[in-house]
């Protein structure tokens, strides 16, 4: 089996959010978003909103794209641009250009134990906002092109890249960046950058 980085998948085009549609929303969208990089082909990845107008995702999802659309589970969208990139860890931080009513996901900045139950939220293949449940199977170590990744025993597929890995309390403990298996296929082993990496980019910590 060979390590393959998750690729983009086909999906529907984004819908631009209007002031009227924003006023009709009574509850905020979930913090999990679909990142559309090409409306014509539907190329996309996943990200998570962490507050302050910022979305964390995998760097290879956004690559060198200038214009990006971030789409919520309520089908509202906002344009975004890449604000920070940590290429060695395959992590990027986007800033939203437009206002959108969306919940904030808590970003854990501490270590996560091996064996802990986790869930990954993503947009695999042609499905939107799907959940995969599993556990952390290996500690964060240098592997392949990544400076530090955790091994997860859960299912991922193209389109899940950049999606959050959540602990039982809903805290973001990692970001999906790859899979072990054949390109374009569903894999039962995922690779995730521990959330301490985006915490460092954002100068956050779990301390006082």
Look at residue 22 and tell me whether its pLDDT is greater than 50. no
User: In this structure, are residues 94 and 70 in contact, taking their beta carbons and an 8 Å threshold?
Assistant: yes
pLDDT of the residue at 13 = 28
pLDDT of the residue at 204 = 86
Lowest-pLDDT range, 21-25, 88-92, 153-157, 179-183? 21-25
Q: Which CATH topology does 9-96 take?
A: Thrombin, subunit H (2.40.10)
Which among 190, 133, 137 is positioned nearest to 159, based on CA atoms?
190
pLDDT of the residue at 6 = 37
Domain range 117-201, CATH class: mainly beta
The mean pLDDT of 125-130, rounded to a whole number, is: 90
Which runs of E-coded beta strand occur in the chain?
3-5, 32-38, 43-51, 54-58, 68-71, 77-86, 91-96, 117-122, 130-143, 146-153, 164-166, 172-180, 190-194
Query: Model pTM greater than 0.95?
Result: no
The residue ranking higher by pLDDT, 110 or 40, is: 110
Q: CATH 2.40.10.10 residue ranges in the chain? A: 9-96, 117-201
Q: Over the stretch 90-105, which tens digit does the pLDDT of each residue have?
A: 999 999 999 999 999 9
The mean pLDDT of 52-69, rounded to a whole number, is: 90
């Amino acid at each position: 089996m060979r390590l393959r980085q998750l690729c983009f998948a086909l999906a529907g085009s984004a819908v631009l959010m209007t002031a009227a549609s924003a006023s009709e929303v009574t509850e905020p969208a979930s913090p999990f978003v679909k990142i559309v990089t090409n409306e014509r082909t539907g190329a996309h990845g996943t990200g998570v909103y962490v507050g302050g107008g910022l979305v964390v995702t995998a760097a290879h999802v956004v690559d060198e794209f200038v214009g990006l659309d971030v789409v919520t589970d309520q089908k509202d969208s906002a344009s975004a641009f890449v604000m920070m990139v940590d290429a060695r860890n395959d992590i990027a931080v986007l800033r939203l250009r437009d206002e959108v009513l969306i919940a904030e996901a808590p970003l854990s900045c501490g270590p996560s134990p091996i064996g802990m139950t986790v869930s990954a939220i993503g947009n695999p293949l042609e499905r939107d906002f799907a959940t995969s449940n599993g556990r952390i199977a290996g500690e964060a170590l240098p592997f392949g092109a990544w400076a530090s990744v955790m091994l997860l025993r859960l299912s991922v597929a193209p389109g899940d890249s950049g999606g959050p890995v959540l602990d039982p309390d809903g805290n973001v403990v990692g970001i999906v960046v790859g899979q072990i298996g054949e390109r374009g296929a569903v894999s039962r082993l995922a690779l995730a950058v521990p959330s301490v990496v985006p915490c460092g980019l954002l100068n956050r910590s779990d301390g006082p």
